[in-house]
Each structure stands twice: as structure tokens, then as C-alpha cells.
Amino acid sequence: MEQIHSQKNTPHGLLVVVGPSGAGKTTLVHELLKLYKDASKIVTYKTRKKRDNERHMEDYYFCSEEEYFVLRDRGFFAETACVHGDWSGTPLHEVAHLDTVFKIASIDIHGALKLKALYPHVHIFFLQTTSMQVLESRLKRRAQDSEKTLEIRLHNAKQEIEAAHASGKVDLFLINDDFTEMFAKARDYIETKMG
């Protein structure tokens, strides 16, 4: 009897974590994957250059625009978008059987909204900082972007925040001020709404 009960409460579906660069998406996804051992991360495709701390085929599949467009034209992606001037996409095979598996992805708000419109069992968490000043300070501390790229990221962050609020499709807005508190809210949602 206990086994049936715990099985029923096992999270399932696709959790899409979105938000501006520097909001803490990677950390949140990493911690959720540690907590939920049956969950798997969807590795998306990117045409941008790999950063020093990123791993090909683990963080993202890095490919050329030419390779990306060949895959896109073959119908390989469930959603595809141009983000910060580079292309990104979620493989179609990764969004199958969401009623029985628990997957986590981190993509932009527009891709998340496309997936939610196309597939059942898609839940969106929007992660943001307490203010744009905090976000700017985090991005500067990361020291991964030129001044121009930083400006683009901050401009895009404002647009993402507006799009998320205007959509009415985000399931949970999270402020990443106190990570422990934010993580508890994320976990509560997963265990009450995705089980």
C-alpha cells in the first residue's frame, strides 16, 4: 500500500526553469536534480560558443548554425528560438511521455511558452532577482561578458520579465534572494502540483 502511495506522489512532467541570465537557473536546476534522483535534465542545443565552465553534451549540445539549421529543417526540435543572437532548441524526443517521467529544462521564456502551448504536463518556473541592480551586479561578478553583451543581457532580461508576467502562463514566480527559501517554494510546488 505504501509503495502505491509513494509512486503516486512521484513528480512527473516537464519543469521549465526560465529567467534572465544571472538569476540562478543553473544552480536551481542542479539542486533539483540532486534532490529528485529520478529526474533528468533536458540538454538543449546552442549555437553560441561554449564557456570555459561548460561541458559539451552535459550542459548543452554546442553546434554550428549550419548544423543547427539542418536539424531544425528536419523537424528535430520541439521548440526553437534565437536567444541573445544565438539559436537554441529543445529536442523533440525529450518531450515524449511527460505523463510518466520527470524532466527539467532551462530555456528562454518564449521557448517555455511554446512548449506549454503544445504539450500537457509542462510547468514553468520564472526565476528573477529582487531588482535589476542585483541582476547587473551578479552578471558583472560572473565576468563572462563584454560590456556590450552585458547591456544586451540586461535589456533582454527586462523583456523576459515583461513577457513572463504578460503571458499569464507562468506557474510559479520565484525571487532568488534567499536560495533556501526559494528552493523550499520550488519543492513545495513540485510535490503538490506535479505528483
CATH number for position 107? 3.40.50.300
DSSP state of 138: H
Residue 4 has pLDDT above 70, yes or no: no
47 belongs to a structural domain = no
> Stretch 108-134: mean pLDDT, rounded?
94
Mean pLDDT of the chain: 90
187 belongs to a structural domain = yes
105 belongs to a structural domain = yes
Ramachandran angles phi, psi of 16, nearest 5°: -105, 120
pLDDT the model gives residue 6: 40
> Stretch 154-164: mean pLDDT, rounded?
92
38 belongs to a structural domain = yes
pLDDT the model gives residue 9: 65
Can you read off the three cell numbers belonging to residue 9? 506522489
Please name which of 77, 48, 43 lies closest in space to residue 60, comparing C-alpha atoms.
43
- Give the Cα separation of 126 and 139 in Å (integer): 18
Q: Tell me which of 22 and 89 has the higher pLDDT.
A: 89
Q: Give the structural domain span for 28.
A: 2-42+99-193
57 belongs to a structural domain = no
> Stretch 5-17: mean pLDDT, rounded?
76
CA of 77: how far to CAs of 71, 93, 115, in Å?
7, 8, 11
121 belongs to a structural domain = yes
9 belongs to a structural domain = yes
189 belongs to a structural domain = yes
Question: Which of the residue ranges 60-74, 108-122, 142-156, 180-194 would you say has the lowest mean pLDDT?
Answer: 142-156
DSSP state of 10: S
Please name which of 54, 52, 84 lies closest in space to residue 153, comparing C-alpha atoms.
84
Structural domain count of the chain: 1
